[in-house]
Amino acid sequence: MFTLLKLYWSFVKIGFTSFGGLSMIPLISSEMISHGWMTAAEVSDIVAIAEMTPGPLGLNCATFAGMRTAWLPGAAAANLGVLTPTLTLCAVAAVFFEHFKNSRRLAQVMTGIRPACIGMVAGVLISLSQVNYFEGAHVSLPSLAVGVLDLVLLIKFKVSIPKVLGLSALLGLLLFGGLGL
């Protein structure tokens, strides 16, 4: 029961201190690793799975992290935790929407928050790169090739994310022995 409360509270903190999407990843990573619920590699796997599945990244991560930590009750606790801030803030924002809509102060606050979110995402990218692109002290050339290919497909050729993920999964099976080749 204590684990469920810790999961709930961890995801309440994540929900209140991030703004959805990729900005949640550093916080999820920090919470999962600091509580000993997951390793950095497992967090990387959870993020990859959450990106591949339909729905919001934060909710998907909460579901998978909760399942990994405490099965169905853990998934429920993590989901309730990540949704509590959203529901609370949406209710408050709905009440004061007209006031906030033209607020110069809110615009100033967001001008400061946006770069902080980019910095957090960059930090996670560096952290996850160490797990995904290195084998010990050496660069994993096949992993790096898949990453570069994905980047080119997404940016230059505007290939959809589901297609890139599918291709990457297939390349992972081919390059890392999943098909027995």
pLDDT at 1 over 60: yes
Check pLDDT > 70 for residue 69: yes
Look at residue 180 in the predicted model and tell me its pLDDT: 54
Could you report the per-residue pLDDT of 17-42, keeping only the tens digit for each? 877 778 889 999 999 999 999 999 99
According to DSSP, the β-strands at 138-139 and 134-135 are: antiparallel
Instruction: Categorize the per-residue pLDDT at 97 as very low, low, confident or very high, splitting at 50, 70 and 90.
Output: low
Would you tell me how many other CB atoms lie within 10 Å of the CB of residue 98?
8
Query: Quick one: pLDDT at residue 92?
Result: 87
CA dihedral 120, 160, 55, 51 (to 10 degrees): -50
Q: Are 77 and 7 in contact (CB under 8 A)?
A: yes
Give the whole-angstrom CA distance, residue 166 versus residue 172: 10
pLDDT band at 178 (very low <50, low <70, confident <90, very high): low
Digit-coded pLDDT (tens) for 100-132: 778 888 788 889 989 999 999 999 899 999 989
Distance, in Å, from the CA atom of 153 to the CA atom of 131, rounded to the nearest integer, reads 22
**Contact yes or no for 20/58 (Cβ under 8 A):** yes
What pLDDT is recorded for position 179?
Answer: 63
- Chain mean position to CA 90: 21
Binned at pLDDT 50, 70 and 90, residue 149 comes out as very high
